[in-house]
Every structure is written in C-alpha cells, then in structure tokens.
C-alpha cells in the first residue's frame, strides 16, 4: 500500500503530479516522500535525491503564461468556478469533486478562486488563436472523454531527450574543492596585505618618516691597497694569506696573517719586506698602504742519490734490460748510443723507488751500445754513472723451441654473436702484439682438458685489461681442428659450467697450418712469448690455477 504524505504546513494530503513531484495543492510547497519541505535536488533532512529535479526545474521556466481556463477547454457560465490545482481544468466551485481527476475539496474550495465573470471577460478579451501558426509549435489535441486531462507543460516535457545539469561525481568533488581553494587564496592575500602593508604603517612611530620617504644611504667605499707576497726560491714553499683575497687587494685598516709554508725539501729562513719581525712565522700585517713581502726558504737535502749495482740483466738481438739500485727513493733514466758521445735518453720512470729497471728496445743485432744511468731524488738532486757498454746477440731465428723467435702467423677469429666477445671474424696477426707478453694456447674441440682451461684464460684476459688493449699481456687461443660449428655447440652445452668464450679464439688454416710451425703433437699446449717475441717457456697439458699462469708471465720481460 502506498504511503500517504501529509503537508506539514497545511495538513492536507499530497499526491504526485504528472512529473512525479509531491506538490501541496494548498500552499504549493514541494515535499519529499518523508514529508519534508524540499527546495533543491537532495532533501537536507533524510538525504532523499529527486531524480526528476531537473525536469521539474525546467518545467518552472517554460510554464505557459496563458490562462488556466483556456487549457481545460471547459466553461461554466453563470456559476461559481475555480481551477483544479491538481489537473488544471475549470470546475464548478460547488461540486466538491473535480470531474477530471476526482480531487475532493469540500464546500470551501482550496484552489485558486475565479469568478465566472472574470473568466468570461478573459475569454472575450483574448482573441481565439488558430490551431497552428507558421513558426509556432502545434497545440496539443483535445482531451478524449474518459481520459485524465494533461497539461501542455507535460506534453512539452515528454519531448525532452536528456537531462540537463546532471553533474558527474568528479564535478561534484571539484566544485567544493575549488571553492575551498578560492577561500584559502583570499585569506592568504588578506594575510599578506595585513603583514606587509598595514602592520608596518600602523606600527611606525609618530613623527618618523616612512622608509619610502627616507633618502637612500650614501655608501663610501673604503680605500683598497695591494699586498704582494713572494717565495724565494721558487718552488721552495708558499705563503698563505688569511683572510684570502682573489685579487690581492684589501681594505684599509684590515689585519692579515702571513704564514710561510715550506715544501718537503726546504724549511723557512726569514721574512723580507714590509714586516716588523723577519724571523716570526706566522706574522700579522696591517694593511695601511701597498705592501710587499718575500719569504725565504733554505733547502734541507742537497745530497744526490748514490747509484750501485748497475747490470745488464738480459740482452737479446733487439733489446736489453739495465738494472740498478739507489740509496734513497728516486726516479731513473738511461742514456744510450753506439758511441760514448751519443745520448739517446729513455723516458724517466714514473715512481720514486730504490730498485730500478729500464728496457732498451729497437736495438740492432750483434751491435755494441754504450749507456749511462741517471737518478734524481725528490729534492731535485741528480746523479750519473760512468758509461757502460753492452753487445746485442746475433739475429735470433724463428722456431718452436725455447730461445727461438716465435713463428709469425695471421689467422681469422671465430665468429661469435655475443656482443661481449672479441671474436667477430676479424683477421689477427702475432705482429699485432709486439712489445707485449703473449700467452699462445693450442686446443681442439675434441679435447676435454682444453675446455677446462677456458675460465682461467677468460679471467686472465680481463684482469690484465687485454680486452681494452691497454695491458702488457696478450691472450691468444688457436683451434687446430677449425670447427666453428663445434665451438658453438660446446659453448652452448658447457656455458653454465665454464661460461661464455669471451676471449680471443682463432681458427687454424688447412694449408700450412700454424700447428705445424709450432710442432703441436698434443693438446693443450701453451707457449709463453716475451715482449721481444722469443719463446721463453712451453707448457704441455692443462693448467689447474690462475696463479700457475701468472707466475710464468711475471718471469718474462
């Protein structure tokens, strides 16, 4: 059973109109289903939301201004008449019930009273309009007998295809949020106005001019003087000035502190110039004019290093190594030539040490050379030795034995798609590594012990920066069976155990193979070649540790 809604003001029953709105027929207020008076879309008491609010609101704007009597099409001349507030037709005031909707209103009508004379005069004063005119909407058809009357307003509202002003949830959130931001901005502006304008104005003592009215202060810069500080001899030390000045100028009257700081091979001696005490360090100095000060330093070490044990440790057909010792840390250098008057110097060593070794390269076979050793300590004291001499050996022939020059070769590397691998199918020659120590390994894809050495070669390759071509060690491996297809299979199969093959791998040729030049009869076989290209050691069999390989490499030159 539907609920009965009673107007809280008039205490009459309220029913829904054609739009579904609860409008009191007596006072015209709009109610919610809980009998609360509502002006907007949502009831502020119970939270009820009117889904037809925007239709009802639009209906209030487009409601026709013509007489309600003309809408009904019924006229009762000579009798008291009124307009039914529910369906809008003209009815007899004494009937007690609306003939259209059945509304009961009693002997005293609650609707809007109109006299028959006023209705008749209204009808006579307004000319009857045609059914339709060009540019005007068609008037609704007359009501059929037995059907409830329908107002022209409802007929127009039925043509509406969508609801207007239906706000989305985001807009419902942004509207109060934007209003809050606006309020905050206004309050913040008022705060700044009070703080920056009103408070300074009202807090200013009486009779005192405002800061804007005061003349700007006159700035009188202090006079500047120059301070010149020098150290003698140059390189013997330096002078620290506190407080410092980038341009060497100071304001008149300021006092600075001068500190003489000697270097490692000198000590402070005395001041010279515009100072009051030449022996005091540090010393204050007042700047009242241009000043010039010089700090003198005395050397503490004037003894040159002593050179001993000059020897020719190794001599080949194209190089020789000179070694010597000093009694204090020093840098070394060797001057050499084919005669005692010749003086071709080697680069000076980079570190201060007591044990020195310099390698002479580019020598000619079976030739006598004269050399002189030099040493210089940290304080610049240097010493020379008398000329010594050495003789290079005869030309060393190529061969696979120890002491022979390693046979040259030029081979193509294995093609690997790994971006970290140096093997890109390029051509590699042994001459590319002249002046470096070379580890040359021969292996085969059918050799299990050969593969177990690969992690050691890869670690040696990266530890000595061979991949950047900056180290003094080169790592080369040669696959004597020339099977790149098997190399790929082995790499994929043993990758988890031995890692990727990211070190140089060359493929031997079929005609005049390199393995024949080195007389390879067993794999793995490793040759150790010094920086002169001479074979110094041969290892047959696999290595078990990286230390074993590094020990041999460290013995080479």
CATH number of the domain within which 548 lies: 3.40.30.10
Considering the domain boundaries, does residue 440 fall inside one? yes
Q: What is the pLDDT of residue 457?
A: 93
Whether residues 509 and 431 share a domain: the answer is yes
Split into its structural domains, the chain has a count of 5
Whether residues 332 and 384 share a domain: the answer is yes
Q: At which of 299, 323, 347 does a domain end?
A: 299
Whether residues 435 and 530 share a domain: the answer is yes
Burial environment of residue 287 by CB neighbours within 10 A (0 to 12, 13 to 18, 19 or more): buried
Considering the domain boundaries, does residue 445 fall inside one? yes
Considering the domain boundaries, does residue 135 fall inside one? no
Q: Indicate the pLDDT class of residue 94, thresholds 50, 70 and 90.
A: low
Considering the domain boundaries, does residue 270 fall inside one? yes
Packing angle, helices 454-463 and 546-554, rounded to 10: 50
Q: Indicate the pLDDT class of residue 115, thresholds 50, 70 and 90.
A: very low
Whether residues 525 and 550 share a domain: the answer is yes
Stretch 224-252: mean pLDDT: 89
From 410, 411, 374, 369, select the one nearest 392 (Cα to Cα): 369
d(CA 171, CA 33) in angstroms, rounded, equals 27
d(CA 26, CA 22) in angstroms, rounded, equals 12
Query: Contacts by 489-495 with C-beta closer than 8 Å and gap 24+?
Result: 490/445, 490/451, 494/451
Q: What is the pLDDT of residue 109?
A: 44
- Name the strands in the sheet holding 291-299, side by side, starting at the edge strand that comes first in the sequence: 249-251, 224-232, 291-299, 266-273
Considering the domain boundaries, does residue 199 fall inside one? no
Contact of 69 with 123, CB cutoff 8 Å: yes
Tell me which of 78-82, 288-292, 464-468, 546-550 is least confident: 78-82
d(CA 437, CA 471) in angstroms, rounded, equals 9
Contact of 332 with 375, CB cutoff 8 Å: yes
Contact of 80 with 93, CB cutoff 8 Å: yes
Termini Cα distance of the chain: 112
d(CA 418, CA 487) in angstroms, rounded, equals 13
d(CA 488, CA 483) in angstroms, rounded, equals 9
d(CA 291, CA 275) in angstroms, rounded, equals 9
Whether residues 514 and 550 share a domain: the answer is yes
Contact of 309 with 324, CB cutoff 8 Å: yes
Taking CA 285 as the corner, what is the angle to CA 280 and CA 291, rounded to the nearest 5 degrees?
115
Stretch 11-15: mean pLDDT: 84
Q: At which of 163, 186, 211 does a domain end?
A: 163
| Block residue for tokens 């009673």 | 6
Q: Indicate the pLDDT class of residue 519, thresholds 50, 70 and 90.
A: very high
Across-strand partners of 249? 226
| Block residue for tokens 């209030």 | 60
DSSP 249-304: EEETT-EEEEEEEE-TTEEEEEEEES-S-SS-SSEEEE-SS-EEEEEEEEES--PP
Q: What is the pLDDT of residue 133?
A: 43
Q: Indicate the pLDDT class of residue 70, thresholds 50, 70 and 90.
A: very low
Residue 145 scores a pLDDT above 60: no
- Separation in Å, CA 467 to CA 459, 462, 463, 543, 549: 11, 6, 9, 22, 18
Higher pLDDT, 230 or 115: 230
Considering the domain boundaries, does residue 87 fall inside one? yes
Q: What is the pLDDT of residue 26?
A: 83
d(CA 209, CA 199) in angstroms, rounded, equals 15
Mean pLDDT estimate for the chain: 81
- Separation in Å, CA 87 to CA 20, 53, 103, 257, 447: 13, 20, 9, 107, 108
Q: What is the pLDDT of residue 206?
A: 56
Whether residues 447 and 494 share a domain: the answer is yes
d(CA 438, CA 460) in angstroms, rounded, equals 12
Alpha helices in 332-453 (DSSP H): 448-452
Over pLDDT 90: what percentage of the chain? Answer: 39
Higher pLDDT, 225 or 175: 225
Radius of gyration, alpha carbons of the chain: 56
Q: What is the pTM of this model?
A: 0.50
Contact of 477 with 503, CB cutoff 8 Å: yes
DSSP 3-state of 62? helix
Q: What is the pLDDT of residue 120?
A: 44
Whether residues 421 and 528 share a domain: the answer is yes
Q: What is the pLDDT of residue 220?
A: 54
Could you list the beta-strand ranges (E) of 33-98.
81-83, 90-92
Residue 373 scores a pLDDT above 80: yes
DSSP 3-state of 197? helix
Contact of 330 with 308, CB cutoff 8 Å: no
From 299, 261, 263, select the one nearest 281 (Cα to Cα): 261
Whether residues 450 and 348 share a domain: the answer is no
d(CA 315, CA 363) in angstroms, rounded, equals 10
Q: What is the pLDDT of residue 235?
A: 83
Q: At which of 299, 331, 349 does a domain end?
A: 299
Residue 164 scores a pLDDT above 80: no
Whether residues 550 and 414 share a domain: the answer is yes
The DSSP secondary-structure symbol of 37 reads: B
Whether residues 282 and 322 share a domain: the answer is no
Residue 93 scores a pLDDT above 60: yes
Whether residues 417 and 528 share a domain: the answer is yes
Supply the range of the domain harboring residue 267: 224-299
Phi, psi of 468 (to 5 degrees): -95, 0
Whether residues 417 and 518 share a domain: the answer is yes
- Separation in Å, CA 520 to CA 55, 82, 410, 481: 102, 130, 17, 12
d(CA 366, CA 316) in angstroms, rounded, equals 9
Residue 170 scores a pLDDT above 60: yes
Considering the domain boundaries, does residue 437 fall inside one? yes
């Amino acid at each position: 059973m539907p609920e009965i809604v009673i107007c809280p003001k008039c205490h009459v029953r309220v029913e829904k109109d054609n739009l579904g709105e609860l409008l009191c027929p007596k006072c015209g207020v709009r109610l919610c289903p809980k009998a609360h008076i509502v002006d907007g879309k949502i009831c502020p008491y119970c939270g009820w939301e009117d889904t037809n609010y925007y239709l009802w609101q639009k209906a209030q704007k487009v409601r026709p201004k013509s007489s309600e009597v003309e809408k009904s099409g019924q006229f009762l001349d000579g009798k008291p008449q009124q307009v039914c507030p529910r369906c809008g037709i003209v009815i007899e005031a004494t009937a007690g019930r609306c003939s259209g909707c059945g509304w009961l209103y009693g002997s005293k009508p609650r609707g809007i009273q109109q006299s028959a004379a006023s209705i008749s005069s209204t009808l006579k004063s307004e000319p009857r309009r045609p059914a339709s005119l060009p540019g005007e909407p068609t008037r609704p058809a007359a009501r059929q007998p037995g059907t409830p009357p329908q107002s022209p307003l409802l007929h127009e509202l039925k043509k509406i295809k969508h609801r207007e002003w239906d706000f989305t949830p985001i807009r419902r959130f942004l509207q109060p949020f934007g209003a809050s931001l606006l309020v905050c901005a206004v309050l913040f502006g008022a705060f700044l106005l009070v703080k920056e304008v009103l408070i300074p104005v009202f807090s200013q003592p009486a009779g005192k001019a405002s800061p804007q009215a005061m003349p700007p202060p006159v700035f009188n810069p202090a006079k500047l003087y120059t301070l010149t500080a020098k150290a003698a001899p140059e390189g013997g030390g330096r002078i620290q000035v506190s407080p410092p000045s980038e341009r060497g100028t100071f304001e008149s009257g300021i006092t600075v502190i001068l500190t003489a700081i000697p270097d490692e091979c000198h000590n402070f001696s005395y001041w010279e110039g515009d100072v009051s005490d030449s022996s005091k360090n540090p010393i204050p100095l007042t700047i009242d004019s241009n000043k010039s000060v010089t700090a003198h330093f005395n050397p503490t070490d004037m003894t040159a290093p002593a050179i001993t044990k000059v020897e020719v440790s190794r001599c080949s057909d194209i190089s020789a190594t000179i070694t010597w010792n000093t009694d204090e840390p020093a840098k070394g250098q060797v001057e050499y030539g084919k005669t005692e008057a010749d003086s071709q110097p080697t680069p000076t060593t980079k570190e201060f040490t007591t044990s020195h070794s310099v390698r002479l390269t580019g020598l000619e076979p079976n030739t006598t050379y004269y050399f002189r050793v030099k040493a210089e300590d940290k304080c610049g004291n240097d010493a020379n030795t008398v000329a010594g001499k050495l003789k290079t050996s005869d030309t060393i022939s190529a061969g696979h034995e120890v002491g022979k020059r390693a046979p040259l070769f030029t081979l193509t590397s294995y093609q690997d798609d790994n971006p970290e691998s140096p093997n890109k199918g390029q051509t590699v020659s042994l001459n590319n590594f002249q002046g470096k120590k070379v580890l040359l390994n021969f292996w085969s894809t059918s050799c299990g012990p050969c593969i177990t050495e690969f992690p050691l070669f890869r670690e040696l390759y990266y530890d000595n920066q061979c991949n950047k071509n900056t180290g003094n060690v080169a790592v080369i491996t040669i696959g004597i069976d020339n099977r790149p297809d098997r190399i790929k299979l082995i790499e994929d199969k043993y990758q988890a155990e031995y890692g990727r093959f990211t070190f140089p791998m060359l493929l031997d040729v079929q005609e005049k193979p390199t393995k024949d030049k080195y007389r390879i009869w067993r794999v793995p076989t490793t040759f150790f070649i010094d920086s002169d290209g001479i074979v110094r050691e041969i290892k047959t069999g696999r290595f078990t540790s990286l230390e074993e390989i590094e020990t041999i490499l460290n013995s080479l030159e």
